[in-house]
Amino acid sequence: MSSKIDRLKALANEISSYEIERKKNLKRLKELFAQLKLSGKVMDFKELFDFKAINLSGISLNQKTIGKISEGKYAQIIAITYIEEDGKKRAKNISLGYFGRVENLDEVLKDQIVEFILRWRLEKSFMGVDRYRTLLKNFDRDET
């Protein structure tokens, strides 16, 4: 009996920490969305998640070199969507924010841009987890 209660407690802790982290992430993501003035291209915050991906040019997102600039490049947040043209799907890049040459970027602004991308990707991952959890409910069996 104790092991079932322990498993239930562990599951409850996991779910609550997941939800707390997700709420904090979304709150900060909304703040960054406003600070970076991205509403010019995306009117409603929720529309951000219609994009398949969001990338960054001019600043590294690689784990070992995160935040490192590529001199001579321009900092730009690029959203990727797919459009259907002549019966074929093709990727379309949309500039969400252009920030000029990376070597002229204020350090705080550079960090906000990188943080925005990472937080967007985290929320997009949470959405994927939600989708798969919903799908897996079709295969749940009582394990008593």
pTM of the model: 0.83
| Least confident stretch, 28-32, 34-38, 47-51, 81-85 | 81-85
Query: Mean pLDDT throughout 1-10?
Result: 77
Confidence of residue 143 (pLDDT cuts 50, 70, 90): low
Extract the tokens encoding 2: 């104790």
Rounded Cα–Cα distance for residues 120 and 40 (Å): 17
* Nearest Cα residue to 77 out of 40, 104, 44, 108: 40
Residue that wins the pLDDT comparison between 12 and 98: 98
| Contact indicator for 59, 114 with CB cutoff of 8 Å | yes
Give the pLDDT confidence score for residue 33 in this predicted structure.
96
Burial class (CB in 10 A: 0-12, 13-18, 19+), 48: buried
Query: Mean pLDDT throughout 3-12?
Result: 79
| Contact indicator for 32, 112 with CB cutoff of 8 Å | yes
What are the backbone dihedrals phi and psi of residue 102, each rounded to the nearest 5 degrees, phi first? -65, -35
pLDDT digits (tens, 9 = 90+) for 45-61: 999 999 999 999 999 99
| Contact indicator for 80, 54 with CB cutoff of 8 Å | yes
| Contact indicator for 113, 99 with CB cutoff of 8 Å | yes
pLDDT digits (tens, 9 = 90+) for 69-120: 999 999 999 999 988 888 888 899 999 999 999 999 999 999 999 999 999 9
- Position 16 pLDDT exceeds 80: no
